Structure 1
Amino acid sequence: MTDSPSNASHPAAENGTDQRAAQLATAHRQVAIVREEKRNLDRQLATAGQQNQKLRTALEGAREQITKLKKALEHDLALPLSVGTLIRVIPAGNSAGTKDISTDVMVSGRNVRCAVSPLVPQGALEPGRQILVDEHSVVVAVLGYEATGELANVREVVDGTRVVTVGRSDEERVLRMSGTLRKNPPQPGQTVSIDHRTGFALEVVKRTGMEELVLEEVPNVRYQDIGGLGAEIEAIKDAVELPFVHPDLYRQHKLTPPKGILLYGPPGNGKTMIAKAVARSLAERAAEKSGREQAKGYFLNIKGPELLDKYVGETERQIRQIFTRAREQAEAGIPVVVFFDEMDSLFRTRGSGVSSDVETTIVPQLLTEIDGVEKLDNVIIVGATNREDMIDPAVLRPGRLDVKIRIDRPDAAGAREIFALYLTPDLPLQQEEIIAAGSREAAVEALIDAGVATMYAQTDATRFLEITYKAGERETLWFSDFASGAVIRNIVDRAKKQAIKGLLTRQVRGISMEHVRQAVAQEFMEQQDLPDTSDPDDWARISGRRGDTIADLRIVMHRGTRPEENTGGRQA
């Protein structure tokens, strides 16, 4: 019985011990947490110390850089400065062990290895650019390219840094390409400015002269767009397209395709349009043969007066360049038409004394190029002139311009075809004309009939010129004898403008028969602006006749309804 109190107090003692143990464990955990936090703080402190050291190092480096830039700026501002041309850039870490980039610069004709100022952006260091070099041979500034220099034509691009050019005297040179040309390499045939002192081709020069004049893609003109010349077009097709489409038949018959054709006759009758249609037709035939979907060809349009150059040898050089381009394209199987407009202005008879005798060198150059086209099946030369009698006979002999086709003024049937090209049923027509004719198509036919009848009427009002030939024959020329495709188109344009004026002033819409008749009368009245002369050569040039066959002229001029006759010329 005496042991019962001690037995009762034992569980309470055990509970107290457990509490102290739990408290001690908690304290240990808290101490561990505090120690871990201390270790984290120590690590953060060490990291901050490292960052502080890096920042200190960076600040010291920045201070040194600022000091260096200040010194460089002092050097950059120092005079004198020399202007040079950058030849090449030597990158950092090359075989010489240098850390900074350096450059080779041509200064006063000497190649100098120069350092580059830190203030100069490296992206601006392009070969061929002008730069400023200080007295310590340090590049301190980059300028632009030389704005002046000689011109040369690109023959070929050798690689990414060099190009072959041909100068004025046909001397070939290999030149370095400037940074601009390396980014956009030039094409063969383009003109570039060059600097012979440094051996650089600097930039492409777009000339408004021959380069833009000569090269033209396939013209958008077809034979169907030409009226009143059916027989002439058929003769041209036989001369040009048959050898191109059937070369095997020509070889079997031992026939040589013609190298060129001459289109001659009075002005304004479609010689240029025919030449463009020839180029278009050849391109389409070539596309059919090769299986290409799109017709591809070239039309080199050479206008004689624009090709003439006052410098000796320059016109001959341009002629050589024209045929060089033609050969380049023909070798690729692309048909090329070389069209010489106003051919008599370039290739006049040598020794005639009519001009400055520049033809004594131009004509032989053309003959050389024509004879050199023998092996090129895809080149055809087309010449156009109003005075074929003034062209040197050596150009026109067989074997050069073999085929000669006269493009004459249209007769009434031909004029009807030309009118139909410009007067079409989709134009605005006066309602009275449609009602009277019965349909739009019939109304257009009536307008064309009225225009042709008015143009080709032979009355006292349309009698214009009386010619007496040396053989004694006499001929009367009417206003219709001076008609042409260009005149007919101008007549239709006048009628359309009158229709527009009638709509604006009288609220009457559409073209009428009266508009066409008035347009014909107005166009013929402007024939009074023809040359005020009795020189047979001048009139022959206009009428398409030979001047040496005319003995006398009698010009009859009409003003309104009152004819006035003048012999031997016009009087005001």
Structure 2
Amino acid sequence: MGRCDRVSNSGDQTRQELEQDVAALRAELARLKDSPRTTRAGAFALEQRLNETQRSLSSVTSQNERLARALRDAREQIVTLKEEVDRLAQPPAGFGTFLQANEDKSVDVLTGGRKLRVNVSPGVDTDAMTRGQEVMLNEALNVVAALDFETVGEVVMFKEMLADGERALVIANADEERVVRVAAPLREITLRAGDSLLLDVKSAYVYERVPKSEVEELVLEEVPDIAYEDIGGLGGQIELIRDAVEMPYLYPDLYKEHALTPPKGVLLYGPPGCGKTLIAKAVAASLAKKVADRTGHEGKSYFLNIKGPELLNKYVGETERHIRLVFQRAREKANGGTPVIVFFDEMDSLFRTRGSGVSSDVENTIVPQLLSEIDGVEGLENVIVIGASNREDMIDPAILRPGRLDVKIKIERPDAEAARDIFSKYLTTQLPLHADDLAEFGNDPERCISAMITATVERMYSQEEENRFLEVTYANGDKEVLYFKDFNSGAMIQNIVDRAKKMAIKDFIEYSQKGLRVAHLMQACGDEFKENEDLPNTTNPDDWARISGKKGERIVFIRTLVNGKQGTEPGRSIDNVSNTGQYL
């Protein structure tokens, strides 16, 4: 800094001397011009000296300006460096959690595990601060800035809100219960049991709800849009479940007058793919509609679809805790008079007969937990439990007794008439139909669709040689031939229609012939039968028969009667089948 000043002073001194020389030369030049004795040569010499002196003056002036600029830049750099040094020399700032403001304009904060009462910088608005908010503290532990809320921490499960509304009871790891403070963002939303919350362990504040709660991972909570009219071939079963579920809910006074207790649960059992899940969804949608018709307000219902196998947990007590949370969620939804369906799909996977486990005895505690939820001390008002299974013989008998799952409805495989009804749900007049098939029925789409359905059902339910499927041998030695119609289901019918539609699309792409034909449905039937001709390779035919819906005399041997897919293979014993297919 001193060197820069010396350079600047030297430049100013040289400039002053040159300016004095210029003034002296100009005066001398003027005197000589006025003097009659001045010679031309002398005047010229003086002008030369004057010009040189002026050039020197200009050069020195430019140099002096450059030096001045360099001096200013050096000063700015020195100031910046000094600020940086001062900033780096400042003591570290601490962070704390705001608890409350006091009347004397001080605030209470939590920092380093200590609760302190500190002052606030004038630039910080304490009125805008909320509990749980993070604040910055200076070396004197005074608040100098208000920050945002914490965004990381441990995940705990919400159990219930305490009476003061400012604290909550949560469950941490290993079922440890803790009382925590509730930060401002969480007070604006409604918390439900089972919600996952973000906990800052240092301040014991919960800040936000984690989007996916533990129960929601296992429960599909929705309001179905499926009506009974969308289900084909199950008119009798639908009537039974409506009597069991809808009547007690819509006419509670009549049930009370007759001292009749509504059923607490319904079991839908039968072979796979026959509409058990569809019926359960339709119950929830129908209840919502009936409530709307009765009250005149928009009806609402909930369908809690429990993903059974995912409830199982290797840790002791976790599965039971999940079941408790599911029913706690259902009770919360039903508090306002809203009907709630708790649907356990594949119920046999969770609630097997106690003592039947080979590698574990988990069912010994899961089954009692469900029983206590259904008919325990806490009632299930407006909550209906619906179970679905294709192995009802494996479910614990205590669950199936009257007073728990009171109503048991068998969903059987569709007969020919039911199959026509199911086909009519998928084959409608809105579909594009082939011109030749339409012309055959006078361009009437309804007649054409009806003929397609009739032809397809006759093909599926005929007892011709090509439809022979299995020969089963019973324990008493009797044999029986089963046809493909004996293993038909709504899912298979839907698959046949989908195959036919894809064939129609391929024909349009390749041959520009648009529309569905009877031939497509016939070919789809054949392809579906061939695809399902290979049974699962099992050494226990009786177990397979139970899943497929064949009950009665014990089956000891199964032999396939269909030809191979190339049409050259003879019938085979089930024990020799190596190419596994799907369960029918």
Range of TM-score over shorter length: 0.7 to 0.9
Partner of residue 155, structure 2: 150
Are residue 295 (structure 1) and residue 295 (structure 2) matched?
Answer: no
The answer to whether residue 582 in structure 2 is matched with residue 570 in structure 1 is no
* SS at 1:338 equivalent: strand
What corresponds to 1:87 in structure 2? Answer: 98
Q: Which secondary structure does the structure 2 equivalent of 1:339 belong to?
A: strand
**CA distance in structure 1 between the aligned counterparts of 2:517 and 2:200, rounded to whole angstroms:** 65
> Counterparts in 2 of 1:396-415, with a 5 A limit?
396-415=400-419
What is the identity, as a one-letter code, of the residue corresponding to 2:160? R
**What amino acid is aligned across from residue 511 of structure 1 in structure 2?**
L
1:497 correspondence with 2:505: no
Deviations 1:28-54 (A, max 9, x none): xxxxxxxxxxxxxxxxxxxxxxxxxxx
In structure 1, C-alpha distance between the alignment counterparts of 2:491 and 2:302, rounded to whole Å: 25
Are the equivalent residues in 1 in contact too, given 2:460–2:484 (CA < 8 A)? yes
Which of 206, 209, 229 is residue 234 of structure 2 equivalent to?
229
What RMSD, in angstroms, separates the aligned Cα atoms of the two structures? 3.1
2:268 equivalent to 1:263: yes
Q: Deviations over 1:74-133 (max 9, x none)?
A: 58963455454x13253xxx533x5xxx54332232112344567878799554355554
559-568 vs 546-555, which deviates more? 546-555
2:306 alignment partner, SS class? strand
Equivalent residue number for residue 426 of structure 1 = 430
Q: TM-score, normalised by structure 2?
A: 0.77
Shift of 1:340: 0.6
SS in structure 2 of the partner of residue 551 of structure 1 = strand
What one-letter code is carried by the residue in structure 1 that aligns with 2:545?
A: A
Contact 2:391/2:547, CA 8 A, preserved across alignment: no
With over 3 angstroms needed to count, the CA separation of the structure-2 counterparts of 1:235 and 1:118, relative to structure 1, is same
Deviation at 1:172, TM superposition (A): 6.3
What is the alpha-carbon distance in structure 1 between the residues aligned to residue 320 and residue 212 of structure 2? 18
Relative to structure 1, the CA distance from residue 544 to residue 131 in structure 2 (aligned partners, 3 Å threshold; closer, same or farther) is farther
**1:436 offset after TM fit, Å?**
0.6
Report the AA paired with residue 306 of structure 1.
E
Provide the residue aligned with 1:6 in structure 2: none
4+ residue segments displaced more than 6 Å: 70-73, 118-124, 168-172
Instruction: Provide closer, same or farther for how the CA distance between residues 373 and 488 of structure 1 changes in structure 2, counting only shifts above 3 A.
Output: farther
Q: Residue 112 of structure 1: SS of its match in structure 2? A: strand
Label 1:210 to 1:464 Cα distance change in 2 as closer, same or farther (>3 A): farther
Contact 1:419 1:488 in 2 (8 A): yes
**Per the alignment, do residues 532 and 498 of structure 1 end up closer, same or farther by CA in structure 2, a change over 3 Å counting?**
same
Q: What is the match of residue 242 of structure 1? A: 247
After superposition, the C-alpha distances for 1:351-404 in whole angstroms (9 at most, x for unaligned) are 112452211111111000001388444221100011111111111111111111
Change over 3 Å in CA distance of 1:74–1:339 after alignment to 2: farther
Give the secondary-structure state (helix, strand or coil) at the position aligned to 1:311: coil
Q: Is the 8 A contact 2:280 2:386 kept in 1?
A: yes
Counterpart of 1:436, as a letter, is E
Q: Distance in 2 between matches of 1:81 and 1:223?
A: 67
- For residues 188-203 of structure 1, the aligned pairs below 5 Å read 188-189=192-193, 190-203=195-208
Secondary structure of the residue aligned to 1:461 is: helix
Q: How far 1:255 moved relative to its partner? A: 2.4
1:124-143 per-residue CA deviation (whole Å, 9 max, x = no partner) reads: 95543555545432456646
TM-score, with structure 1 as normaliser: 0.78
Aligned partner (choices 82, 90, 103) of residue 78 of structure 1: 90
Q: Which residue of 1 aligns with 2:528?
A: 523
C-alpha distance in structure 2 between counterparts of 1:254 and 1:324, whole Å: 27
Q: Give 1:542 deviation, angstroms.
A: 3.9
How far off is 1:499 after superposition? 1.0
Q: Name which of structure 1's ranges 195-204 and 385-394 shifts more when overlaid on structure 2.
A: 195-204
Change (3 A) 1:265 1:106: same
Contact 2:196/2:214, CA 8 A, preserved across alignment: no
User: Could you tell me which amino acid in structure 1 is paired with residue 99 of structure 2?
Assistant: R
Q: 1:212 to 1:533 in 2, by over 3 A?
A: closer
Letter in 1 for 2:521: V
User: 2:430, 2:567 → 1: CA distance?
Assistant: 35
Report the AA paired with residue 185 of structure 2. T
SS in 2 for 1:468: strand
Pick the aligned partner of 1:254 from 245, 252, 259.
Answer: 259
Match of 2:375 among 363, 371, 374: 371
Distance 1:143 1:440 in 2: 66
Residue by residue over 1:431-457, the C-alpha shift from the partner in whole angstroms, topping out at 9 and shown as x without a partner, is 111111221101001111122122222
Flag the 1:118–1:482 CA change in 2: closer, same or farther, 3 A: farther
**Residue in 2 aligned with 1:506?**
511
- Asked whether the 8 Å contact 2:155–2:196 carries over to 1, the reply is no
Displacement of 1:72 in angstroms is: 13
Aligned equivalent of 1:280? 285
Q: Deviations over 1:271-310 (max 9, x none)?
A: 0010011112222222233x23322111111120122223
User: Measured at CA, do residues 436 and 152 of structure 1 come closer, stay the same or move farther in structure 2, by a change above 3 Å?
Assistant: same
The answer on whether the counterparts of 1:127 and 1:179 sit within 8 Å (CA) in structure 2 is: yes
Query: In the alignment, residue 299 of structure 2 is paired with which amino acid?
Result: A
What letter matches 1:416 in structure 2?
R
Q: Distance in 1 between matches of 2:84 and 2:124?
A: 11
What SS does structure 1 have at the residue aligned with 2:571? strand
Does the residue aligned with 1:552 lie in a helix, a strand or coil?
Answer: strand
Three-state SS of the structure 1 residue aligned to 2:343 is: strand
The reply to whether residue 210 of structure 1 matches residue 215 of structure 2 is: yes
Structure 2 equivalent of residue 26 of structure 1 = none
Segments of structure 2 that go 5 or more residues without pairing to the other structure are 1-81, 580-584
**What is the identity, as a one-letter code, of the residue corresponding to 1:428?**
P
- Displacement after TM superposition at 1:418 (Å): 0.4
Unpaired runs of 5+ residues, structure 1, are 1-69
Moved more, 528-537 or 392-401: 528-537
Distance 1:351 1:339 in 2: 25
1:449 aligns with 2:415: no
Residue among 383, 389, 394 paired with 1:390: 394
Contact 2:158–2:191 (8 Å) recurs in 1: no
Alpha-carbon distance in structure 2 between the residues aligned to 1:209 and 1:503: 49
- Displacement of 1:537 after TM fit? 4.7
Indicate how the Cα distance of structure 1 residues 239 and 204 shifts in structure 2: closer, same or farther if over 3 A, else same.
same
SS of corresponding position for 2:324: helix
Report how far residue 410 of structure 1 moved: 0.8
Shift of 1:188: 2.6
Question: Could you tell me which amino acid in structure 2 is paired with residue 562 of structure 1?
Answer: T
Identity %: 52
- Judged with a 3 Å threshold, the aligned counterparts in structure 2 of structure 1 residues 451 and 137 are, in CA distance, closer, same or farther, namely same
Q: 1:310 to 1:126 in 2, by over 3 A?
A: farther
Give the distance between the partners of 1:422 and 1:298, measured in 2 at CA: 27
Give the aligned length. 494
1:364 alignment partner, SS class: helix
Does the CA-based 8 Å contact 1:83-1:133 persist in structure 2?
A: yes
Could you tell me which amino acid in structure 2 is paired with residue 569 of structure 1?
A: N
Aligned mate of 2:559, from 529, 554, 558 = 554
